[in-house]
Amino acid sequence: MKFNFKTSYIVALVAVVLVLLLFGGRMFLIIEAGERGVIFRPYTSGLDKENIYGEGFHVIAPWNKMYVYNVREQQREETMDVLDKNGLSITTDITVRFNPIHNEIGFLHQQFGVNYINVLVIPEVRSTVRQVAGRYTAEEIYSTKRAEVEQSIKDETRNVLGQNYIEMKALLIRSINLPDQIKNAIESKLQQEQEALAYEFRLQREESEAE
């Protein structure tokens, strides 16, 4: 049988086209701005945690899989009920801003996967807020030690997320709400304390003027 170069060329071209049609979507990919990729090689080395793929065009073997992560700063808002030191229920509104640490998404993917926000970030934020709130009374959280409570929540949340490959940019406590009865009692007490301090100041001033 005489070898037909033209026919062989056409067959090879058709085979290439078929391969591209079947596997092109898995072989060629573009990582957009603000994203990073981590590759999983099921038949060789498994998950490559060390080599992170940056923005741009990439070609991978069709049997491998690229997991793409958004590494831009992201924001989540949470409303939660927590208990104070005495078991009183307090409602807090929290906003947390964060992003995955770019060169550690391989480790993040291995431990938590692409659903890391719901598996890691939100549960840890909730847990930290509850732990910190449980160390203070409602009055301290609402008024006298509010700044200290907020700073403790920020520091402890940043620490635990940092240990799990997440950089926390900011944590904002938008509001702290108490039952109206408790809130009114605390505000009344604070007002009485202010009035007592003002009265004491007037007495001291009058004594000073008399002297």
pLDDT of residue 24: 47
Q: What is the pTM of this model?
A: 0.72
Residue 193 to residue 201: CA distance in whole angstroms? 12
Residue 157 to residue 162: CA distance in whole angstroms? 8
**For residue range 142-156, what is the model confidence (pLDDT) as tens digits?**
777 888 988 999 999
Average pLDDT over residues 65-76: 93
The residue with greater pLDDT, 24 or 182, is 182
Position 183 pLDDT exceeds 90: no
Collapse the DSSP code of 188 into the 3-class scheme (helix H, G, I; strand E, B; otherwise coil) and give the result: helix
Position 2 pLDDT exceeds 60: no
Considering only the C-alpha atoms of the chain, give the largest distance between any 2 of them, rounded to a whole number of Å: 128
**For residue range 96-143, what is the model confidence (pLDDT) as tens digits?**
999 999 999 999 999 999 999 999 999 999 999 999 989 988 878 877
pLDDT mean across residues, the chain:
81
Neighbours of 109 (CB within 10 A): 19
pLDDT of residue 89: 84
Q: How confident is the model at residue 194 (pLDDT cuts 50, 70, 90)?
A: low
126-133, long-range: CB within 8 Å, 24+ apart, which pairs? Answer: 126/78, 126/80, 128/153, 128/156, 128/157, 128/160, 129/80, 129/82, 129/92, 129/94, 129/153, 129/157, 130/80, 130/82, 130/83, 131/156, 132/156, 133/82, 133/83, 133/84, 133/90, 133/92
